[in-house]
Structure 1
Amino acid sequence: MGSIIHDEHAKADAKDYVESRGLKPIILHLQASGGRTIIEKIDRYTNVGFGIVLYTECDVGAKRDSLAYKWRARQNVVFEHGYLIAKLSRARVAALVKGDVETPNDISGVVYIGMDAARKWHDEMDNELRQAGYQISAPENPLF
Protein backbone atom coordinates (compact mmCIF):
# COMPACT_ATOMS: atom_id res chain seq x y z
CA MET A 1 0.00 0.00 0.00
CA GLY A 2 1.37 3.40 -0.87
CA SER A 3 0.43 6.63 0.83
CA ILE A 4 1.31 10.28 0.24
CA ILE A 5 0.46 12.60 3.13
CA HIS A 6 1.06 15.83 5.07
CA ASP A 7 -1.57 16.12 7.87
CA GLU A 8 -0.36 14.09 10.88
CA HIS A 9 -3.82 13.12 12.17
CA ALA A 10 -5.04 12.10 8.72
CA LYS A 11 -1.81 10.18 8.22
CA ALA A 12 -2.29 8.29 11.49
CA ASP A 13 -5.94 7.54 10.69
CA ALA A 14 -5.08 6.25 7.22
CA LYS A 15 -2.16 4.19 8.56
CA ASP A 16 -4.35 2.66 11.28
CA TYR A 17 -7.03 1.86 8.71
CA VAL A 18 -4.58 0.14 6.34
CA GLU A 19 -3.02 -1.89 9.16
CA SER A 20 -6.45 -2.86 10.53
CA ARG A 21 -7.17 -4.46 7.16
CA GLY A 22 -4.03 -6.60 7.40
CA LEU A 23 -2.11 -4.55 4.85
CA LYS A 24 1.27 -2.86 5.16
CA PRO A 25 1.32 0.91 4.66
CA ILE A 26 4.27 2.56 2.97
CA ILE A 27 4.32 6.22 3.93
CA LEU A 28 6.41 8.03 1.34
CA HIS A 29 7.89 10.80 3.48
CA LEU A 30 9.09 8.24 6.05
CA GLN A 31 11.13 6.32 3.46
CA ALA A 32 14.85 7.00 3.06
CA SER A 33 15.74 9.34 0.21
CA GLY A 34 19.17 7.83 -0.40
CA GLY A 35 20.25 10.83 -2.46
CA ARG A 36 17.30 10.41 -4.82
CA THR A 37 15.27 13.26 -6.25
CA ILE A 38 11.64 13.34 -5.09
CA ILE A 39 10.44 11.84 -8.38
CA GLU A 40 12.99 9.00 -8.07
CA LYS A 41 11.86 8.42 -4.49
CA ILE A 42 8.22 8.31 -5.56
CA ASP A 43 9.06 5.87 -8.33
CA ARG A 44 11.05 3.60 -6.01
CA TYR A 45 8.47 3.35 -3.22
CA THR A 46 5.30 3.15 -5.28
CA ASN A 47 5.68 -0.40 -6.52
CA VAL A 48 2.47 -1.20 -4.68
CA GLY A 49 -0.92 -2.67 -5.48
CA PHE A 50 -2.95 0.31 -4.31
CA GLY A 51 -2.24 3.95 -3.47
CA ILE A 52 -3.95 6.29 -1.04
CA VAL A 53 -3.40 10.03 -1.38
CA LEU A 54 -4.47 12.42 1.39
CA TYR A 55 -5.92 15.79 0.46
CA THR A 56 -5.80 17.93 3.60
CA GLU A 57 -6.23 21.61 4.45
CA CYS A 58 -2.55 22.52 4.10
CA ASP A 59 -2.61 25.45 1.64
CA VAL A 60 -5.04 28.13 0.52
CA GLY A 61 -5.58 29.38 -2.98
CA ALA A 62 -7.88 31.36 -5.23
CA LYS A 63 -8.36 32.28 -8.84
CA ARG A 64 -6.51 35.36 -10.00
CA ASP A 65 -8.22 38.61 -8.98
CA SER A 66 -10.49 36.76 -6.55
CA LEU A 67 -10.74 37.09 -2.80
CA ALA A 68 -12.58 33.77 -2.44
CA TYR A 69 -9.82 31.63 -0.97
CA LYS A 70 -10.30 27.89 -0.52
CA TRP A 71 -8.38 25.21 1.31
CA ARG A 72 -6.20 23.11 -0.98
CA ALA A 73 -3.84 20.21 -0.69
CA ARG A 74 -0.19 20.99 -1.27
CA GLN A 75 0.70 21.21 -4.97
CA ASN A 76 3.08 18.28 -4.65
CA VAL A 77 0.20 16.09 -3.40
CA VAL A 78 -1.81 16.83 -6.55
CA PHE A 79 1.24 16.03 -8.68
CA GLU A 80 1.95 12.80 -6.79
CA HIS A 81 -1.72 11.81 -7.08
CA GLY A 82 -1.49 12.16 -10.86
CA TYR A 83 1.78 10.23 -10.91
CA LEU A 84 0.21 7.35 -8.96
CA ILE A 85 -2.78 7.27 -11.30
CA ALA A 86 -0.42 7.07 -14.28
CA LYS A 87 1.62 4.32 -12.64
CA LEU A 88 -1.11 2.22 -10.98
CA SER A 89 -4.31 3.26 -12.86
CA ARG A 90 -7.33 5.14 -11.56
CA ALA A 91 -8.83 1.88 -10.26
CA ARG A 92 -5.89 1.39 -7.88
CA VAL A 93 -5.69 4.89 -6.38
CA ALA A 94 -8.07 6.64 -4.00
CA ALA A 95 -7.86 10.09 -2.50
CA LEU A 96 -8.99 10.63 1.07
CA VAL A 97 -10.19 14.20 1.56
CA LYS A 98 -10.09 15.66 5.06
CA GLY A 99 -11.96 18.89 5.62
CA ASP A 100 -13.30 21.34 3.07
CA VAL A 101 -10.55 20.88 0.50
CA GLU A 102 -10.83 21.94 -3.12
CA THR A 103 -10.05 18.98 -5.37
CA PRO A 104 -8.89 19.12 -8.97
CA ASN A 105 -12.00 19.26 -11.13
CA ASP A 106 -10.49 18.27 -14.45
CA ILE A 107 -9.70 14.64 -13.62
CA SER A 108 -12.80 12.59 -14.43
CA GLY A 109 -13.28 9.21 -12.84
CA VAL A 110 -11.02 9.95 -9.87
CA VAL A 111 -12.24 8.58 -6.54
CA TYR A 112 -12.42 11.16 -3.73
CA ILE A 113 -13.54 9.85 -0.33
CA GLY A 114 -14.36 12.23 2.50
CA MET A 115 -12.70 11.44 5.83
CA ASP A 116 -15.73 11.87 8.08
CA ALA A 117 -15.72 11.73 11.88
CA ALA A 118 -18.09 8.74 11.87
CA ARG A 119 -15.48 6.86 9.82
CA LYS A 120 -17.87 5.88 7.06
CA TRP A 121 -14.86 6.39 4.83
CA HIS A 122 -13.64 2.98 6.05
CA ASP A 123 -16.55 1.29 4.25
CA GLU A 124 -15.85 3.28 1.10
CA MET A 125 -12.15 2.38 1.20
CA ASP A 126 -13.06 -1.28 1.82
CA ASN A 127 -15.17 -1.18 -1.35
CA GLU A 128 -12.37 0.40 -3.38
CA LEU A 129 -9.87 -2.18 -2.17
CA ARG A 130 -12.26 -5.05 -2.90
CA GLN A 131 -12.82 -3.66 -6.39
CA ALA A 132 -9.02 -3.66 -6.86
CA GLY A 133 -8.90 -7.36 -5.92
CA TYR A 134 -8.08 -7.24 -2.20
CA GLN A 135 -9.79 -9.61 0.22
CA ILE A 136 -11.06 -7.08 2.77
CA SER A 137 -13.27 -7.75 5.75
CA ALA A 138 -14.07 -5.43 8.62
CA PRO A 139 -11.73 -6.00 11.57
CA GLU A 140 -13.17 -7.96 14.50
CA ASN A 141 -11.64 -5.55 17.02
CA PRO A 142 -11.43 -2.15 15.35
CA LEU A 143 -8.66 0.06 16.68
CA PHE A 144 -10.81 3.16 16.46
Structure 2
Amino acid sequence: MPRFGIVFPTASTIQEELEFGLVTNIEENIYVENTVFGPTVVGKAKGVYVAMSSSSDNNHMMAMTVSFSVENGDDDDKSSDEIDSLKFFGVHLRDVLECHVAVIGGTGKFNDANGYAVIKVVNNRDIGSTDIIHGSSDDVKLMLMYNVFLS
Protein backbone atom coordinates (compact mmCIF):
# COMPACT_ATOMS: atom_id res chain seq x y z
CA MET A 1 0.00 0.00 0.00
CA PRO A 2 1.52 3.37 -0.99
CA ARG A 3 2.17 5.91 1.74
CA PHE A 4 1.26 9.53 1.53
CA GLY A 5 1.36 12.48 3.86
CA ILE A 6 -0.51 15.72 4.17
CA VAL A 7 1.34 18.84 5.24
CA PHE A 8 -0.72 21.47 7.04
CA PRO A 9 0.36 25.13 7.13
CA THR A 10 1.38 26.74 10.39
CA ALA A 11 -1.33 28.20 12.59
CA SER A 12 -0.29 31.79 11.78
CA THR A 13 -0.68 31.12 8.04
CA ILE A 14 -4.14 29.64 8.56
CA GLN A 15 -5.26 32.67 10.56
CA GLU A 16 -4.08 35.06 7.84
CA GLU A 17 -5.64 33.19 4.91
CA LEU A 18 -8.79 31.69 6.42
CA GLU A 19 -10.62 34.49 8.14
CA PHE A 20 -14.16 34.21 9.38
CA GLY A 21 -16.70 35.89 7.15
CA LEU A 22 -20.38 36.11 6.44
CA VAL A 23 -21.94 33.36 4.31
CA THR A 24 -25.16 34.36 2.58
CA ASN A 25 -27.49 31.85 0.96
CA ILE A 26 -28.54 32.72 -2.61
CA GLU A 27 -32.05 31.68 -3.58
CA GLU A 28 -33.54 34.14 -6.04
CA ASN A 29 -35.79 34.03 -9.08
CA ILE A 30 -34.24 34.81 -12.47
CA TYR A 31 -36.11 37.37 -14.58
CA VAL A 32 -36.07 38.25 -18.26
CA GLU A 33 -37.42 41.64 -19.24
CA ASN A 34 -40.32 41.30 -21.67
CA THR A 35 -41.61 44.64 -22.94
CA VAL A 36 -45.11 43.32 -23.70
CA PHE A 37 -45.86 41.40 -20.49
CA GLY A 38 -43.29 42.86 -18.07
CA PRO A 39 -40.62 40.76 -16.33
CA THR A 40 -40.97 37.00 -16.65
CA VAL A 41 -39.55 34.39 -14.26
CA VAL A 42 -37.39 31.94 -16.25
CA GLY A 43 -35.65 30.05 -13.47
CA LYS A 44 -33.96 30.15 -10.09
CA ALA A 45 -30.47 30.92 -8.79
CA LYS A 46 -29.15 28.96 -5.81
CA GLY A 47 -25.75 29.12 -4.16
CA VAL A 48 -23.60 30.94 -1.61
CA TYR A 49 -22.04 34.38 -1.35
CA VAL A 50 -19.08 34.62 1.06
CA ALA A 51 -17.92 37.98 2.44
CA MET A 52 -14.70 38.49 4.35
CA SER A 53 -14.95 39.86 7.87
CA SER A 54 -12.71 42.81 7.02
CA SER A 55 -14.80 45.93 6.50
CA SER A 56 -12.26 47.31 3.99
CA ASP A 57 -12.56 44.31 1.66
CA ASN A 58 -15.44 44.65 -0.82
CA ASN A 59 -14.75 41.39 -2.63
CA HIS A 60 -17.08 38.43 -2.22
CA MET A 61 -16.62 34.84 -3.37
CA MET A 62 -19.68 33.40 -5.05
CA ALA A 63 -20.63 29.89 -6.13
CA MET A 64 -24.01 29.64 -7.80
CA THR A 65 -26.12 27.36 -9.99
CA VAL A 66 -28.77 28.95 -12.20
CA SER A 67 -31.55 26.63 -13.41
CA PHE A 68 -33.53 27.59 -16.53
CA SER A 69 -36.50 26.26 -18.49
CA VAL A 70 -38.41 25.44 -15.36
CA GLU A 71 -41.85 26.93 -14.92
CA ASN A 72 -41.86 29.48 -12.06
CA GLY A 73 -38.37 28.42 -11.02
CA ASP A 74 -39.66 25.19 -9.43
CA ASP A 75 -37.10 22.49 -10.26
CA ASP A 76 -38.05 19.96 -7.58
CA ASP A 77 -40.03 17.71 -9.97
CA LYS A 78 -37.24 17.08 -12.51
CA SER A 79 -34.02 15.12 -12.26
CA SER A 80 -30.77 17.10 -12.50
CA ASP A 81 -30.08 15.70 -16.01
CA GLU A 82 -33.30 17.20 -17.41
CA ILE A 83 -32.76 20.72 -16.10
CA ASP A 84 -30.89 23.30 -18.16
CA SER A 85 -28.47 24.99 -15.77
CA LEU A 86 -25.21 26.94 -15.60
CA LYS A 87 -22.70 26.92 -12.75
CA PHE A 88 -20.77 30.07 -11.81
CA PHE A 89 -17.75 30.52 -9.56
CA GLY A 90 -15.59 33.54 -8.90
CA VAL A 91 -15.00 36.72 -6.97
CA HIS A 92 -17.60 39.46 -7.23
CA LEU A 93 -15.79 42.80 -7.01
CA ARG A 94 -18.23 45.25 -5.50
CA ASP A 95 -16.16 48.42 -5.94
CA VAL A 96 -16.00 48.31 -9.76
CA LEU A 97 -18.68 48.94 -12.39
CA GLU A 98 -18.49 45.39 -13.72
CA CYS A 99 -16.61 42.22 -12.93
CA HIS A 100 -16.19 38.75 -14.41
CA VAL A 101 -16.80 35.28 -12.97
CA ALA A 102 -16.19 31.89 -14.56
CA VAL A 103 -18.82 29.57 -15.98
CA ILE A 104 -17.58 26.19 -14.74
CA GLY A 105 -20.18 23.79 -16.08
CA GLY A 106 -23.81 23.10 -16.62
CA THR A 107 -26.48 20.53 -17.39
CA GLY A 108 -29.03 19.93 -20.14
CA LYS A 109 -28.49 22.31 -23.07
CA PHE A 110 -25.47 23.72 -21.24
CA ASN A 111 -23.79 20.40 -20.43
CA ASP A 112 -20.08 20.98 -19.62
CA ALA A 113 -20.36 24.68 -20.47
CA ASN A 114 -17.28 26.90 -20.28
CA GLY A 115 -17.04 30.66 -20.48
CA TYR A 116 -17.51 33.71 -18.32
CA ALA A 117 -20.21 36.07 -17.10
CA VAL A 118 -20.05 39.84 -16.79
CA ILE A 119 -21.80 41.04 -13.63
CA LYS A 120 -23.18 44.58 -13.42
CA VAL A 121 -25.12 46.15 -10.56
CA VAL A 122 -28.27 47.84 -11.86
CA ASN A 123 -31.45 49.14 -10.30
CA ASN A 124 -34.93 48.37 -11.54
CA ARG A 125 -35.15 51.80 -13.20
CA ASP A 126 -32.04 51.03 -15.29
CA ILE A 127 -33.77 48.02 -16.84
CA GLY A 128 -37.06 49.85 -17.27
CA SER A 129 -39.23 47.94 -14.82
CA THR A 130 -40.71 48.54 -11.41
CA ASP A 131 -42.96 45.47 -11.56
CA ILE A 132 -40.16 43.15 -10.40
CA ILE A 133 -40.24 44.42 -6.84
CA HIS A 134 -44.07 44.57 -6.61
CA GLY A 135 -43.83 47.98 -4.98
CA SER A 136 -44.42 51.58 -5.86
CA SER A 137 -42.60 53.26 -8.72
CA ASP A 138 -40.62 55.31 -6.15
CA ASP A 139 -38.95 52.17 -4.76
CA VAL A 140 -35.53 51.26 -6.17
CA LYS A 141 -34.07 47.78 -5.79
CA LEU A 142 -30.50 46.96 -6.77
CA MET A 143 -30.14 43.86 -8.88
CA LEU A 144 -27.27 41.93 -10.45
CA MET A 145 -27.41 41.67 -14.24
CA TYR A 146 -25.46 38.79 -15.80
CA ASN A 147 -24.32 38.73 -19.43
CA VAL A 148 -23.06 35.22 -20.12
CA PHE A 149 -20.54 34.32 -22.84
CA LEU A 150 -20.02 30.62 -23.59
CA SER A 151 -17.29 29.07 -25.70
What is the TM-score with the length of structure 1 in the denominator? 0.26
Structure having greater relative contact order (Cα 8 Å, sep ≥ 6)? 1
Name the larger-Rg structure: 2
Whose helix proportion is higher, 1 or 2? 1
Whose strand proportion is higher, 1 or 2? 2
